[in-house]
Amino acid sequence: AQSVTQPDIHITVSEGASLELRCNYSYGATPYLFWYVQSPGQGLQLLLKYFSGDTLVQGIKGFEAEFKRSQSSFNLRKPSVHWSDAAEYFCAVVPFGNEKLTFGTGTRLTIIP
């Protein structure tokens, strides 16, 4: 079945530490790939997207993501997290030939001092 999976429900990291959030997808053709962030009480903000080309994409707020076709993954990374990065992160896909976003279940990120 077609799906997008975020295996980690909740991740806690120390401020200044590196971060990697996992995302795997299961689609016949590589979909368009996105990462969104939702701060408490806020809407969804696009961090970055991958359509084609360079497999390492840079986004806003110092985030980057790497597309790995062989692993059907699109993991989000940040070298050094800040307390303001505490939020819910959603991986999303737009399947080929489609227009609507399908979201993963989200990963809640907690930052500790």
Partner 1 sequence: DSGVTQTPKHLITATGQRVTLRCSPRSGDLSVYWYQQSLDQGLQFLIQYYNGEERAKGNILERFSAQQFPDLHSELNLSSLELGDSALYFCASSALGNTEAFFGQGTRLTVV
Q: CA 98 → CA 41, 46, 62, distances in Å?
A: 29, 19, 29
In the 8-state DSSP scheme, what is residue 30? P
Which CB sits closer to partner 1, 9 or 69? 9
Confirm or reject binding of residue 36 to partner 1 (CB under 8 A): yes
Considering only residues 38 to 77 of the shown chain, the ones binding partner 1 according to CB under 8 A are 42-46, 49, 51
Confirm or reject binding of residue 3 to partner 1 (CB under 8 A): no
Q: CA 88 → CA 42, 71, 82, 112, distances in Å?
A: 10, 24, 14, 15
Q: Which residues bind partner 1 (CB under 8 A)?
A: 32, 34, 36, 42-46, 49, 51, 90, 94, 98-103, 105-106
